């Protein structure tokens, strides 16, 4: 790849989610011509280029979460010296819950040339398949792993008017959906998108209660969840917020403090929530 700048450039490229035929012509060219290919998983990179019939002429280096920071100085030096560094992840767009952000931020700080080869994204693919209003949306990455933290995260989404997209692992999906139904209300619409663009692609749409029941079976593969935004007049019921208050108290917060945080995040009256929490406690 040529450039008029004395420095090289950083190229971020979206890779297919599953079907190699979704690879762009520009991705094929970049893989063949880049001086360095920084790949989240070098084995998956080899599988991809084999499927595309492309030969990588440049140096291939691993670029996953644990080594991203250590790779940074060397990759920046290469760009400064005139090399084209191509960053690819296992699937989808680099830096979106995948390695890439640190390198982009560092290159931008030095005003080094940066470009992106657009393409597949699990976020936008799930949004359009969900059947939910998605003119406005937010992306939340992966939910917290611990139940208490996850419930707090869900409480923050209780009044979110935009559709929310997030990733989840198959073995945590049922717990996340059950807690979402408890915190947000079982009637909130959502969609679970599994194995997008792959042979066993599946999109399951329904209420959070229905999806939690479906997820009790064996669920495999890459998961993307789309949660409908809160309706303009929708506010969480006091009863739906009690599990979140109790979870905070169980982790050591005072009842008044837990009520204040949950009420502030959801917009419900603090006094009503406090009284309900007191009433729900064993006498």
DSSP state of 113: -
Q: Which residues contact 146 (CB under 8 A, 6 or more apart)?
A: none
Domain ranges of the chain: 9-120, 123-227, 238-280
Q: Which pLDDT band, with edges at 50, 70 and 90, does 267 fall under? A: confident
pLDDT of residue 214: 97
- pLDDT over 50 at 3, yes or no: no
Q: Which pLDDT band, with edges at 50, 70 and 90, does 253 fall under? A: very high
Asked whether 185 and 158 are in contact (CB, 8 A), the reply is no
What is the residue-averaged pLDDT of the chain? 93
Q: Do domains 9-120 and 123-227 have the same CATH topology?
A: no
Homologous superfamily of the 123-227 domain (CATH): Tetrapyrrole methylase, C-terminal domain (3.30.950.10)
Asked whether 54 and 32 are in contact (CB, 8 A), the reply is yes
- Per-residue pLDDT, averaged over 218-231, amounts to 94
Helix 170-184 vs helix 147-156: angle between axes, to the nearest 10 degrees? Answer: 50
Which pair of structure tokens corresponds to residue 27? 């991705």
- pLDDT over 80 at 240, yes or no: yes
Class of the 9-120 domain? alpha beta
């Amino acid at each position: 790849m040529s450039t008029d700048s004395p420095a090289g450039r950083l190229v971020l490229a979206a890779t297919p989610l599953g079907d190699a035929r979704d690879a762009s012509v520009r991705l094929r060219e970049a893989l063949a011509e880049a001086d360095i290919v920084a790949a989240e998983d070098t084995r998956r990179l080899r599988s991809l280029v084999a499927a595309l019939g492309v030969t990588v002429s440049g140096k291939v280096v691993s670029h996953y979460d644990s080594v991203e920071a250590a790779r940074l100085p060397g990759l920046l030096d290469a760009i400064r010296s005139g090399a084209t560094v191509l960053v690819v992840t296992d699937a989808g767009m680099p830096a979106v819950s995948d390695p890439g952000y640190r390198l982009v931020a560092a290159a931008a700080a030095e005003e080094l040339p940066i470009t992106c080869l657009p393409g597949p994204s699990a976020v936008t693919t799930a949004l359009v398949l969900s059947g939910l209003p998605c003119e406005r949306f937010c992306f939340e990455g992966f939910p917290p792993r611990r139940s208490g933290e996850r419930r707090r995260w869900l409480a923050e989404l209780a009044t979110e008017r935009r559709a929310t997209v997030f990733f989840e692992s198959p073995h945590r999906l049922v717990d996340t959906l059950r807690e979402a139904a408890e915190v947000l209300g079982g009637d909130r619409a959502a969609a679970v998108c599994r194995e997008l663009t792959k042979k066993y692609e599946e999109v399951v749409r329904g209420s959070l209660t229905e999806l939690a029941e479906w997820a009790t079976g064996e669920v495999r593969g890459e998961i993307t969840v789309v949660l409908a935004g809160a309706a303009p007049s929708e506010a969480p019921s006091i009863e739906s917020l009690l599990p979140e208050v109790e979870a905070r108290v169980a982790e050591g917060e005072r009842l008044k403090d837990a009520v204040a945080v949950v009420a502030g995040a959801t917009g419900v009256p603090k006094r009503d929530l406090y009284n309900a929490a007191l009433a729900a406690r064993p006498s």
